[in-house]
């Protein structure tokens, strides 16, 4: 399994969103205005002034935490699938049984033995029962709530459901009773449990946004333009309160312009 994304990258990805960027900009502007607002000489900055940017940042932090937690669930699912797989296997090599053979080195055609308590190291077809029956717990793969009997009867339909493949042992499942000898058919990511792992891995690395995410991004772009137009409209409607000029009688050319920065920031904050 490939290494998962580092934590810092997961955190940064939570801020790669149009709406989040708007809120970040609003928090930055609100924080800057706290320092430039007009106040009495020598008067300290009141902590209450930081409530607005603080609340915005708190919301963004909580959003990032939830996003990282959700993406970490996919990583945890991959780890859980990895833990289900057996590290060793009993395999017949050169006419002798190796009881500590590395499962990752198995290849199709290997002959393995599965006993009570063992985890099946790979997908394999039962060829010999060493006890009257062998039962496997495969709820993690098929959802069956009880152990399933396995036999040596071949299944002709290659597209049969997993539950119908009574002669197959699936990697990651556990033998609850009995023993058998089986021939390995699939290993690694070609096993049924490996296919699930590959699907989860692909889903966690999917670059294309979901339809909902695409709609939210479009809404964020529209909201950005809307906010910009509203700010411009408010300024144009109230410019006379923070910009004034004097004209000579009969002239439209101003000779003295007065700019009130405190009032300008007030209307900008609105």
Distance between CA atoms of residues 121 and 124, nearest Å: 9
Find the range with the poorest average confidence among 54-68, 75-89, 97-111, 158-172: 75-89
Which residues, listed in sequence order, are joined to residue 169 by a DSSP beta bridge?
124
- Mean pLDDT for all residues in the chain: 80
The pLDDT, as a whole number, for residue 148 is: 92
More confident residue, 255 or 47: 47
Q: Tell whether the model's pLDDT for residue 74 goes beyond 80.
A: no
Predicted pLDDT of residue 77: 66
DSSP string, 120-188: P-SEEEEEEESSS-EEEE-HHHH--SS-EEE-S-----TT--GGG-TTEE-TT-EEEE--EEEEEEE-G
Q: Is the pLDDT of residue 1 over 50?
A: no
Q: How confident is the model at residue 151 (pLDDT cuts 50, 70, 90)?
A: very high
3-class secondary-structure state, position 196? helix
**Predicted pLDDT of residue 194:** 86
Which segments within the chain are labelled E, that is strand? 88-93, 96-102, 111-114, 123-129, 134-137, 148-150, 168-169, 174-177, 180-186, 243-247, 254-259
Res. 216 pLDDT band, cuts 50 70 90: confident
The pLDDT of residue 223 is 80
Average pLDDT over residues 117-142: 91
- Of 15 and 132, the structure prediction assigns the larger pLDDT to 132
**% of the chain residues with pLDDT over 90:** 25
Structure tokens at 112: 């393995």
Comparison of pLDDT for 8 and 168, the residue scoring more = 168
User: Is the CB of residue 60 less than 8 Å from the CB of residue 12?
Assistant: no
Report the interhelical angle of 192-204 vs 51-84 (nearest 10°): 160
* Average confidence (pLDDT) over 255-262: 61
What is the structure's pLDDT at 53? 84
Domains and CATH numbers, the chain: 1-84 (no CATH), 87-196 (2.70.150.10), 208-270 (no CATH)
């Amino acid at each position: 399994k490939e290494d998962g994304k580092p934590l810092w990258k997961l955190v940064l990805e939570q801020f790669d969103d149009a709406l989040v960027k708007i809120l970040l900009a609003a928090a930055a502007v609100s924080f800057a205005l706290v320092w430039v607002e007009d106040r009495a000489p020598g008067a300290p900055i009141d902590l209450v002034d930081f409530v607005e940017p603080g609340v915005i940042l708190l919301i963004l932090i909580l959003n990032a935490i939830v996003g990282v937690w959700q993406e970490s669930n996919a990583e945890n699912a991959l780890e859980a699938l990895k833990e289900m797989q057996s590290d060793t296997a009993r395999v017949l090599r050169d006419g002798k049984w190796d009881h500590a053979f590395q499962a990752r080195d198995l290849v199709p055609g290997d002959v393995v033995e599965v006993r009570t308590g063992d985890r099946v190291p790979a997908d394999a077809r039962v060829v010999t029962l060493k006890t009257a029956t062998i039962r496997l717990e495969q709820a993690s793969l098929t959802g069956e709530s009880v152990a399933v009997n396995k036999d040596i009867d071949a299944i002709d339909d290659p597209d049969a459901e997993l539950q119908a493949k009574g002669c197959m042992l699936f990697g990651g499942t556990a033998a609850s009773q009995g023993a058998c000898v089986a021939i390995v058919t699939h290993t690694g990511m070609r096993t049924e449990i490996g296919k699930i792992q590959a699907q989860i891995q692909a889903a966690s690395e999917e670059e294309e946004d979901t339809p909902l995410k695409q709609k939210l991004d479009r809404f964020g772009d529209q909201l950005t333009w809307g906010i910009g137009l509203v700010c411009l409209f408010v300024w144009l409607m109230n410019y006379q309160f923070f910009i004034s000029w004097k004209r000579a009688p009969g002239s439209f050319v101003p000779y003295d312009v007065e700019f009130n920065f405190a009032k300008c920031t007030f209307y900008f904050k609105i």
